[in-house]
Amino acid sequence: MTPSAVGMSFLVLGLLLLLGKWIRVTTSYLQKLFIPSSLIGGFLGLVFGPQVLGNLVEWSEHEDTVLSLLAGGIFPEDMLAVWATLPGLFINVIFATLFLGKKLPGVREIWHIAGPQVAFGQTVAWGQYVFGILITVLILTPFFGIDPMAGSLIEIGFEGGHGTAAGLASTFEEVGFHEGADLSLGLATIGLLFSVILGIVLLNYGAKTGKTAILQSPGEISLDKSERAGIVGFDARESAGKITTRPESIEPFSLHFAYVGVAIGVGYIILQALQLIEELTWGRMTGVYLLEHVPLFPLAMIGGIILELFLDRFDKYKTLDRNLVMRIQGLSLDILIASAIATLSLDVIGSNLEPFIILSIVGIVWNVAAFLLLAPRMIPSYWFERGIGDFGQSMGMTASGLLLMKIADPHSKSPALESFGYKQLMFEPIVGGGLFTAMSVPLILNLGPIYVLILTTIIMSFWIGTGLLYFGRK
């Protein structure tokens, strides 16, 4: 693979993102669903690649015509190979930037402000493991022969999203569950779509039945035309970030890119150290190796936290700007989603269609039931406005949760946005792409699904009890 092929792969991917944005701006239906442009661009790559266009040409059996030239789609194999590697690389950038430039409050402060949402969010996440493993053990493995590790796919796809699903592709390959990456990416797509669709339905239901504290009627649920199209109005446009260094010294964007590299490097050192400890201790004694299958990205997040603490104490010039970090994160997420969807294997989903549908239904039903039945009993005030953000995140991505909170509370009259941000600090290091998410697949492989089911049930019960008996009584 030549350097020019790698460069051309990024150029074409950028073109797909641009086409995705143009389609989003000009298509009102997609605007109503709030579909990200990166997802649209990824689907364009999927449609014109070997999985859709290539298969259609092969099925047409036009071997001696011009159509035969499109048997593999319009993209060269080298380009598809580059795209297939991008999610595993850029997920490290995304997780390294989660807490870079973000002021880290104390645990007591987080618990005081965001405790109810921590309990509710943890309950939903661990419940995705419980019901995912349960349905796999009872139905999917006995009747469809799917690997028991499929029990982790709901949490990886729904709570973790496209980034986590793509980032764990190498782990799925290492443990022999080759179809896991494509199934989790498919679940992430289903979750993202239904997070917005069902979120809007729930918002209308909440406003109509008086469950919302801010919205008084379904007619209030609206965004202006530019917001639906994903365009910031001229008067509302802000700077993408602060210029913290003089460009003739070092370009600020380059400096922040270097900070991200340092965070990933720290995470890599931690991972290597942990794997060495495992090799020399319990791994050698028991033959059980968990950390060798753990990918880099959750440790890159830890590296970002360590770097943030270091800079907060020793960087007297305060050269790290959170907004610039967010731009790097956003670019990486767009590249990840577009490339992951463009290289998605529909053959894998098609050959496991029944388990895929069952896992999707179980995940959706659990998330909706948890929001309607547990959120009002676990979150003492503004339960709808605060819970709808966790609902959006638990099915799609953080952006989905923020979008639904903005619709439910457009002027931030409730503490929903603040507590949601604080909740992430006690949430993402563990689940939703955190350490347990990364270890869930090798845990099921080494310990078996029943032991992991018992463990996740205990943890879920703890958070349910904390939410109902402690916060719910306030």
What is the rounded distance in angstroms from the CA atom of residue 474 to the CA atom of residue 3? 61
CA 211 from chain centre, in angstroms, equals: 28
pLDDT digits (tens, 9 = 90+) for 392-440: 889 877 777 877 888 888 777 888 887 887 888 888 888 988 889 999 9
What is the rounded distance in angstroms from the CA atom of residue 179 to the CA atom of residue 137? 18
pTM over 0.75: yes
pLDDT digits (tens, 9 = 90+) for 280-291: 887 777 777 778
How far apart are the two ends of the chain, measured CA to CA in Å?
A: 61
Range scoring the smallest mean pLDDT among 28-37, 49-58, 309-318, 465-474: 28-37
| 73-77: long-range contacts, CB 8 A cutoff, minimum separation 24 | 73/48, 73/49, 74/48, 74/49, 75/12, 75/45, 75/48, 75/49, 75/50, 76/5
Q: How high is the pLDDT of residue 287?
A: 73
**For the stretch 267-286, what's the b/e string if a residue is b when 16 or more beta carbons lie within 10 angstroms of its beta carbon?**
beebbeeebeebeeeebeee
Supply the Cα-derived Rg of the chain in whole angstroms: 22
CA 6 from chain centre, in angstroms, equals: 26
Contacts of 43 (CB under 8 A, 6+ apart): 20, 341, 342
- Report which of 222, 213, 217, 155 is spatially closest to residue 376, judged by C-alpha positions: 213
Paired tokens of 420: 């949601």
Q: In the predicted model, what is the mean pLDDT of residues 179-191?
A: 93
What is the rounded distance in angstroms from the CA atom of residue 210 to the CA atom of residue 208? 6
What is the rounded distance in angstroms from the CA atom of residue 198 to the CA atom of residue 395? 10
pLDDT digits (tens, 9 = 90+) for 198-216: 988 898 888 888 888 877 6
pLDDT digits (tens, 9 = 90+) for 314-341: 999 999 999 999 999 989 989 988 998 9
